[in-house]
Amino acid sequence: MADFRQYAPATERNRQPILEVLQQVLPPSSTVLEIASGTGEHITFFAPRLGHLQWLPTERQALLRESIQAWGEALPAANLLLPALDLDVSDRPWPVETDALPEPITAIININMIHISAWEMCGHLMAGAERILPAGGVLYLYGPFKREGQHTAPSNETFDQMLRDQNPDWGVRDLEEVEAIAQTHGLQLEKMLPMPANNFSVVFRRG
Ligand SMILES: C[S@@+](CC[C@H](N)C(=O)[O-])C[C@H]1O[C@@H](n2cnc3c(N)ncnc32)[C@H](O)[C@@H]1O
C-alpha cells in the first residue's frame, strides 16, 4: 500500500523544544490552527501531547496535505482535526473564517514559513491572525530571525544567502520588522525565546 508520509528531518530535532514552549504559552482550551503544517510531523506530535486542545492542520500544497493525512492515520489522535485544510495565507477569507469548527480558534502556530515565502506573506499571516484571534489569543512563530538587521549566528547568514539564491523573495526576517507589522494588526510581542540551532520561538498576543 502506498505510504504518503513525507519526512522533514529538522522536525525530529525541533519538535520537543517547540512542544515545551507551546506547553507554556498556549491557552488552556479550544482549537490551535497550524498554518503551513508541511509534512504533518509537528502537529501529529503535538496533538497527543497537548490533548486538552483541538489541533487543526492547514497546508497549501496538495502532496503535503496527503502527507498530513497519512501521518494522522499512522498516529491517530481524537483531537487532530483531519483532513488538513487548503490554506494559503494570502487567501481572503481563510477557510476557517467560513467553516464551522467544534471549538473556536484561540491560537495559531506557524513554524518555518515566513523566511521561505515572500515578505508580504508575513503581513498576510498577521492580518489573518488579527481577523481570527480573540483578545488574548496567541500567534506563535518559530524559525531563524535577525535582530536589528544583524544575523544572530554565522550559520544563519549562510542559510539566508542559500535561501536568497534559491528564491530572491525568501530570506531570514528581522524580528523588529516582523514585530512592527504585528503591531499594525493588534498583536503585541510577548516573548522571544532562543531555541536550539540558532532558531527562536516568538510569541505574539492579540490585544
Ligand atoms: C519549510 S516548510 C515548513 C513546513 C513545516 N511547518 C515544518 O516546519 O516542517 C515551508 C512551508 O510554508 C508553506 N508556505 C509557503 N508559502 C505559504 C503561503 N503563502 N501560505 C501558506 N503556507 C505557505 C509551504 O507550503 C510549506 O509547508
Domain count, the chain: 1
The answer to whether residue 49 is domain-embedded is yes
Q: Are 110 and 128 in contact (CB under 8 A)?
A: no
Handedness of CA 93, 77, 66, 140 (dihedral sign): positive
Q: Is the pTM of this model over 0.95?
A: yes
Note whether residue 3 is domain-resident.
no
* Positions of E strands within 78-162: 105-111, 138-143, 145-146
Q: How far is the CA of 110 from the centre of ligand 1 (A)?
A: 8
Q: 40 CB less than 6 Å from ligand 1?
A: no
Does 4 reside within a domain?
Answer: no
> Has residue 1 been placed in a domain?
no
Cross-strand partners of 31? 54, 105
Please give the radius of gyration of the chain, using alpha carbons only, rounded to the nearest integer. Answer: 16
pLDDT digit string (tens) for 108-137? 999 999 999 999 999 999 999 999 999 999
Single-letter amino acid code for the residue at 15? R
What tens-digit pLDDT sequence spans the chain (207 residues)?
Answer: 789 999 999 999 999 999 999 999 999 989 999 999 999 999 999 999 999 999 999 999 999 999 999 999 999 999 999 999 999 999 999 999 998 888 899 999 999 999 999 999 999 999 999 999 999 999 999 999 999 999 999 999 999 999 999 999 999 999 999 999 999 999 999 999 999 999 999 999 999
Q: Give me the phi and psi of 187, to 5 degrees please.
A: -115, 125
Nearest CA to ligand 1 atom 18: 88
Helix (H) or strand (E) holding 67: helix 62-74
What domain range is 124 assigned to?
9-206
CATH number for position 160:
3.40.50.150
Ligand 1 centroid – CA 100 distance (Å): 24
Separation between Cα atoms, residue 146 and residue 21, nearest integer Å? 20
Index of the ligand 1 atom closest to the CA of residue 14: 8
